[in-house]
Structure 1
Amino acid sequence: MAEPYITDEQDYDAMQLLEIGLELSESEYSEEDEDFIPVVELDSSPRFLLNSDQATTTTAAAAAENINFQEEEVDVEEERNKRRRVEKLGSGGDICCRNGGDDAGGESSQNSQWNRSEFDGLFCPICMEAWTNEGDHHICCLPCGHLFGLSCIEKWLRQRGRLAKCPQCNRKGTLRDIRKLFVPRIAVVDEESQKRIRFLEEKCASLVTKDVDLCKKESEWKRREAALQLEVQKCKERTIYLEHLLGDLQSRPSGLAAAYRGSQGHEFGNSIYSDFYRQGSSSCFMLQRELRVDGARLFDVDASGKILLLVRRVPMMGGSHVLTKMSLIPPHESEDIFLPPGTKIIKDLHISPTNGSLALFASLGKKLSVLSMESNNVILSYDLPAAAWSCSWDLNCSHYVYAGLQNGSLLVFDMRITGSPVESRLGHTTDPIHTVQSLQHISTLPSGVKTVVSASSVGMCQWNFGCEEERPFLIPETTNQGVCVSLAYCASSDDIVVSYRPRVEMSNEVVSQTLFMPSPATGQGVLGSHLHLKRVGSNYEKLGIACSTVSGIRLPKSSIIDRQNQKPLFATGDEVSCGLILQELPSFTATQRLKPHQHFIYDVKYTSTHSQGLLGCLSEDTVQLFSTKLSSELLRRRSALVFRSSVQLKSDINFVM
């Protein structure tokens, strides 16, 4: 078929339309855009500048290009719309608009660029449809390496004929250059993205390290802040106390001594740090050590050997008790001593006052046992007819030990006889004996008679062993005071303090519950009393009594501190502040309040060595040791007591040999 004749005017019109289309295409997409796809390629040859004589030779080509241009306009418009839809999907709904005179156009966010990069490897850049691994839209490439759908690139190259080029890089290409790719999936590693990912990972790790360091610093700052706040509170309380004391002294300038004595018992608010009470006194106790423990219940101290022996409850062992031996010398090494099966809960523990290498403990497993502190083994164990609640060493003969039972009986053992007790007595009642104390031998009693006092709920009883059979008798001064919960004895001064809590009368249940129910202000405490007795020969003299807040559910421990040329001190736990309070006997005037614990105080012990007195108190998680200097006269008396015990021990050894 002959090609249609096209005049010069038609050729000129076609050229103008082609130039207008080129301008529109260039205004819509810039060559600097990474997604630019050339729509029409104009050759640089002057074929549009032909004269009229040569028009007949180029008429057919111009007409074909004019017809193809109209088809290309439709294709370009469809491609443009598809590209815009994909850009909108990849950028989260933001369409990047470009102006003809703008070099960079609108600049999308970083997230939009990352989202578009995910689609660049999934769709054909011509039709913006996903390519396939078979069929008309099979994935293929040109020699330059750019990927397209087979039908799209064939149509693209066929429409442009000999002027066909790659839509991406404008390199020449033909239909014969198309190569099919047979791959299940194409994944291209983006080096820039990989570098950015590695950079972000390193930055994230650095931020995590900085966060950990900041957390450590924050915890240290909080700890220091708490310590400083504690010091500030302590200084404030001391300032308040000194202001009150100064006011009293100014109001009574002539009564300086009386004001000072009155200030000893003065309590301002609920002050928990009153270490400055009687700072000038020789009996002022200062905190020496504070050790952390876990599940502590009882303890005793060997001051000469610098050993602390603890009874701890271990939850992971079914609540059974273990003994923990801890050194008082830094770094305070500790060692757990596991007890034989069947020992159960330990109710009382005492280190021998004459031989620090032996410890005596009583348990609910009906056992009275002697532990060697050197080998950490139980070297002697007695079977008891009932559970043991208390135990004690004899102060006059180191071979004798005592055990108070749950049924109210008291047994005497000679450690040289390992089979059975040397004496067994039934109690005044069947109430458990929670405290046993051996008394110093007095001249009014026959030689060989051993005197013991015990405490149960009814009060304090005295037992005499080594003489004619007789039952124990209640000390009259200790009856009808309530429920006896504690007994403290000082061997060097024969002072005794018995503590009571109210007895609940079932006949008046409503009234008793109202009176004795623990209040929120005092936690587990109830209003009880302390009774001070002094042993004078075979009798007991009542010296003083005072009301106090005592535990409503536990059996508290207490201790008496002997001071030469001064009145003795009574050390007991304060149920309000959970701290140790020192009271002067017999007036029970508070002279010093020591640093409180987080939990209630379970045990209190006092011992002395050389020129130093050592006072210890134990709560569930803390052991505190306070020290003070002793007077020379008190040291002499204690040395004499130890000497008499050692002489008795040597005579017993010679008797055995």
Structure 2
Amino acid sequence: MIDNEDGEDANADNIDEHSEESQPIIRRTRVVLQRLGPSQDGTPETDNPFGGREPVPEAVNALEPEEQSTSQNNNTQNEIITIDTPTPPKKRKRLSNVSKKAMGTPVVGETRSNDDDEDDGMTCPICLDTWEMSGDHRLVSLRCGHLFGENCIRRWLAESQRQTSIKSCPQCKTKVTTREIRYLYAKRVRAIDRSEEHNMRRDLEVERMRSKALSMELATEKLDHTLTANKLKAVQMDYDRLRLIVRAGRGAGELDNECGLKSISQLASHRLYMEKNIEITREPGCRVLLFSATHKTLLASQKSAQNLFPGYGVRFIDLPSFRPTQFVHTSAQLVRDIACSESQHTLTVASREVRIKSFDIRTRLSNVSFTAHDKQLWSCGVDREQREHYVYAGDLRGAVYVFDMRFPDNILSEYQAIENFSPVINIAAVRTSKTFPSGGLLVCQLTMVKFYDNENDTATPTRLNVEGPFLSVQYDALQDTVLISARSNAQYNKSRFILGQLVKIDDTPVLKITATIFGSTATPYMTRPTQMGVEDNSLVVGYLQDTKQLMMYDVRREERVQTMPINEVVYDICPVNTAAGSYLAALTDNKCRVYKVNSTKAN
């Protein structure tokens, strides 16, 4: 090395004393200066790590590269190491131009221009040296996901525990242990930055949901327009009929008979009469009621009366005598939902546990159970016709799981919630029809009702045009109608019983509402109404919680036809059709009230 007139190295412009490459040289030079002692002839000085300034001997400056290296190695052995002495960083290996281009971290849609970042993902953040596939400096990771060389992270954790009594990640300070060091088998780690693509996908999904909501709103407006046009047409027909009556001077009944129409006065009237009051159990806890026409039995959930088998189960009530018979223990928690498959002779029970159980109605024995990732299952349902083997389960977070009775250990499909994560309280399978050739699935959550169309074997969810919060949903396969029970909200100050039919407008499923019946102002209990098909008419029966009355509504007459006082809360109502006639069963906390449905035809 040659000194210039100012006593400085001629190649000083090519060496940056703050660079990583120059730090080890400067450190060793200082150690050599310390060993040689201070200069007396006014040679250039340098910083002394032990305090003060020391001159740089010319002997050191005049060393040849090989001699300087030998001197540095000899003096390094005599270097004094203290606790405060920082660990000298290892020299970082430079990558060739080819390796830089091949092993850099690519960014989607961006050209890398910073050479210092081109080898990110290939070097240990502790020693800044490239990690290896084997040996002491092989690639490892911690549970937080950060990558290091093995010997570096082990030394770091040991030193961290010695100084702070806590082992932590050097990058995120997460508490870790030596057991959490995991070997990674990769020659190099390259992370492609797709954040822009993911943001675009997220925006696209938001736009799709917005477009779907607008399509649903448009279909609802078209449906309202169609209903309004039909009402206008009906009013016009009534006007024309009344004008004919006035001109002909005849009665309205005579004209209706000629036209083949039935007036309201000619419709049959229906009344409920108390038949029996059955005590199912002395312990409160009855919640769900279901009728099986094939097996001619009524199923009611109840609390177990046996101390040997605590919990809840299902009581079988024989028909037509309405006599309680066998009790089947089902779960330790309160029974939340029951579904019955007439063709498979199975009874499925959900009770807010991690599994739903299926029983054989004929033998009263459990034959299979279903689980879904250890999630609490609130509701259950079974399908019909070509999909009669399918069982549905709804969980606490709004997801629906599809099982096959023949393969209970596997989940066929999962319908995860996207925008609404309230519990699924009811599931009803919709039969095939001209509108829905593959059928569908009604899913009722606490705050929304969705319909899954099984078209092309892919269930597509659509939020129905009804505002919640909701109490229940019921589907009548014979009438192809849907009955939804909703609580009061900001728009309606009373609860509602909404009767309608699923239709399609512009390939969008919507609920065509035929009747809206207003109920209680307050609904503190989860109760379920029911619908009954009587001749060419429909009856809706529900419990009014504020007035403690059982109400029956005639859809054709568009009015309440009967109310009956009941001091107990009616949690569920179920129609029962037998050879002896039509009945209505109402389930309270520990009893089952049976009402006879009498129909009187007008003369």
What TM-score comes out, normalization by structure 1 length?
Answer: 0.45
Higher helix residue share: 1
Higher strand residue share: 2
What TM-score comes out, normalization by structure 2 length?
Answer: 0.49
